[in-house]
Amino acid sequence: MSKTQAQEAGEIARLLSYVVILLGAVGLFCAAGAIPASRFEKLGAGAFPKIVFAAIALMSIVAIIDALRKISGPAYGRFLCDAWGWARRCYLVFICLGALSAYLLAIPVLGFSIASFVFIFGLQVILMPRRMPSIALAAVVAVVFSFGLNWLFAEVFTVFLPRGVF
Amino acid sequence: MSDFMTGAAQIFTFATLIYMLFGSVAGIVAAAIPGFTVTMAIVLTLPLTFTMEPLQGIAVMLSVYVGGYTGGLISAALLGIPGTPSSVATTFDAFPMARNGQPGRALSIGVWASFFGTLISTVVLIFAAPPLALFAVRLGPWEYFSLIVFALTIVASLVGSSVIRGMLAGLIGLAISTVGTDPIMGRPRFDFGIEMLQTGLPFLVVLIGIFAISQLVSEVENADTVRSGNPLVTGAIDFQTWAVMKEVLMRPLNLLRSSMVGVLIGALPGAGGSIANLVAYDQAKRGSKHPERFGTGEVDGIVASEAGNSATAGGGLIPLIGLGIPGSAVDAILMASLMVHGISVGPRLILDHGDLVYGMFIAMAVASLMMLVVAVCSMRLFLRVTEVPKWLIVPVVMTCCVVGTFALNNRVTDLYLLIFIGIAGYALRALSYSLAPLVLGVILGPIAETNLRRALMTNDDPSLFFTRPISLIFLIAAVISIVWAIRSHLKSRKLSERSSDAAAS
């Protein structure tokens, strides 16, 4: 993929983001209008959000017009292909975000120590050049920053991290 | 004079100095961990000071305070993640400098700028506490709203590569701040019946998600560099202590201006370090002969941000000492620690407990010196972070972010918010949105809304924003700031067009 192609694919992705932001701003502007006004003040709870969302909508329209000006016709046809190529190159990003999401959802169930150990050790093994010393180091680091951190917070700072249901 | 000597005698005891040393180390370490703020470090220190003498306890907490403002610099420079909200602007230039192979220099500049910033703010605190405190308390909601309008014009300096996306990011930040209970009447807004949105999106969770998670995830974009075991930052671990001190002192105007910005913003209740570093950075960029260098590892950028945020430590004490009004959460905790010892904090504090007030001034100066010593001695240790490979540091720092997010309110739902904000933050980063305006919007949004509505509740005549002199001054400053930004933008566009024409011919 040439540099211009990559720039155009990025510009289309940004155009899509402007459209999403515009739709969100219009929806939330309407939602802000439905917030009841107060008899005790001139501006109600919905006034400030309405100003903000109106400004976002206006700015999004400007951004959309600006983006449409920059993108050539054939770029739209190539976009899906380019986006798929980017996603394949950055597959570790998706693994990281997926692992983080699973970790955060698992904390209330497994407790901080176990969930953190599994997350740190698992993600390190995925990211590392796999050699025996590295795996041993990863295990030690995972123990220190899961069980060790939990102990430090509970015993020294009396801040109790989630214990889980087990 | 006798009060001064009594205060000095209490500070310069072996026990107090040792406690202050521990406080400095604790502040630096706590703030270096993303997600842990200076406020949290001070809250954790408070129970430990109950058994100490009042001035001893306050001195220890001031050491944590001063150390904490510097500690945020470490992760900002080495990881590109602001350790505390007050070091957001430090990431703009310290991180690129560290990435360019000068991590030691980046840290050193930040430490010296913090040291001088704290010293300057202490001097201002000593001489200007009573008049400045009286000025700050006279500001009504009109002046505050106009001040925030002026502060919002900073977005123009932080927009990055695209003005439109920068402004959109700033507005999205303002929009994020409107989620949850409204600040005046307590009406629910935009929670869609979801319980975790009812209390709004906590600022720290937004900061961690937007800056830390997105930065960490972007570190693993290139699978080859991660798998080869590359460290985050490569380059010489060279602290260059004295050479850098001279380098910082060679910028007296920037140092003084940024420190004064920090003092003034610190003196205003409700503002604080999280805004001061951005305003100081903005002013330094506008005042520079080479604004185009900002964001690429410019020394002035680091000096401005660090001097600005450290100077708020002294500035924040102005309303506390002058009037007994805590200007920030940290000052409220300092006030609480005095009240625990039966000392009533108010306008009579300086008259009734002169030794304590002078002791606090001396403690500020000693704490900044101690921070400098601790930082210089421990930086080599911190710089070892740069040698840690990405595959090891990314999951570990993510876990620290999770702990910081949870410890803020002890709420599991904040962790769920972190997932969404982290993913949104990465998406915005990948789409080349500038993230700093978004954070500024989240900080300033509630202050702007509260004061706008409060002003119109007090008097529904909107012309008061233009007829009250101080409010008018802030609004005129905002207009000048926008005009200046447009002028600079047009100028830089002309320059880049000219250079591309020259390259083409």
Q: Spell out the domain ranges in chain A.
A: 3-89, 91-155
Q: What is the mean pLDDT of residues A88-114?
A: 93
Contact B178 A52 (CB under 8 A): yes
Touching A: B residues 225-284, CB under 8 Å: 226-229
| Cα–Cα distance list, B470 to A20, B269, B477 (Å) | 40, 16, 11
Name the one residue in this structure whose structure tokens are 């996603």: A87
CA B126 – CA B60 distance, rounded (Å): 19
Q: B123-143: per-residue pLDDT in tens?
A: 888 887 767 666 766 778 898
pLDDT at A54: 96
B223, B392, B399 ranked by CB distance to A92: nearest: B223
Task: Flag if B187 and A153 touch (Cβ within 8 Å).
Answer: no
DSSP class per residue in B418-432: HHHHHHHHHHHHHTT
Q: What is the rounded average pLDDT for all residues in chain A?
A: 89
Q: Give the closest residue to A159 by CA, choosing from B85, B50, B41, B58.
A: B41
Residue of B168, B228, B452 lying closest to A21 (CB–CB): B168
- Percent of chain B having pLDDT more than 70? 90
What pairs with residue B235 in β-bridges?
A: none
Count the domains in chain B.
1
Identify residue B232 by its one-letter amino acid code.
Answer: L
- Distance between CA B214 and CA B421 in Å, rounded? 9
Q: Which residue among A31, A103, A146 sits closest to B190, beta carbon to beta carbon?
A: A31
| pLDDT reading at B238 higher than 70 | no
Would B369 be classed as within a structural domain? yes
Tokens representing A9 are: 């694919």
pLDDT at B503 over 60: no
Q: How far apart are CA A122 and CA A141, in angstroms?
A: 12
Indicate whether B56 belongs to any domain: yes
Burial track B16-37 (b if 16+ CB lie within 10 A, e otherwise): beebbbbbbbbbbbbbbbbbbb
Answer yes or no: is pLDDT of B443 > 70: yes
For A:86-125, CB contacts with B below 8 A are 89-93, 96-97, 100-101, 103-105, 107-108, 112, 116, 119-120, 123-124
Res. B271: pLDDT tops 70: no
Is residue B184 less than 8 Å (CB to CB) from chain A?
Answer: yes
Top pLDDT among B336 and B185 is at B185
Contact A56 B175 (CB under 8 A): yes
Band (B235; pLDDT cuts 50, 70, 90): low
Residue B125 CB neighbour total at 10 angstroms:
27
Q: Minimal Cα–Cα distance from B166 to chain A, Å? A: 10
Q: Is B334 on the interface with A (CB under 8 A)?
A: no
* Window A:132-151, CB contacts with B under 8 Å: 134, 137-138, 141, 145-146, 149
Q: Quick one: pLDDT band at residue B160, thresholds 50, 70, 90?
A: low
B148 min Cα distance to partner chain A (Å): 14
Contact B362, B317 (CB under 8 A): no
A152 touches chain B (CB under 8 A): no
Q: For residue B501, is it within any domain? A: no
Q: Is residue B375 part of a domain?
A: yes
- How many beta-carbon pairs below 8 A join chains A and B? 168
Cα angle at B225 between B220 and B231, to 5 degrees? 85
Per-residue pLDDT of B446-499, as tens digits, reads: 888 988 998 988 888 889 999 999 899 989 988 887 887 777 777 766 766 666
Chain A residues in contact with B193 (beta carbon < 8 A): none
Could you list the residue range(s) of the whole structural domain that residue B316 is in?
A: 2-493
Question: Chain B contacts of A47, Cβ < 8 Å?
Answer: 453
Query: Is B499 contained in some domain?
Result: no
Query: What is the pLDDT at residue B116?
Result: 93
Can you tell me the mean pLDDT for A115-124?
95
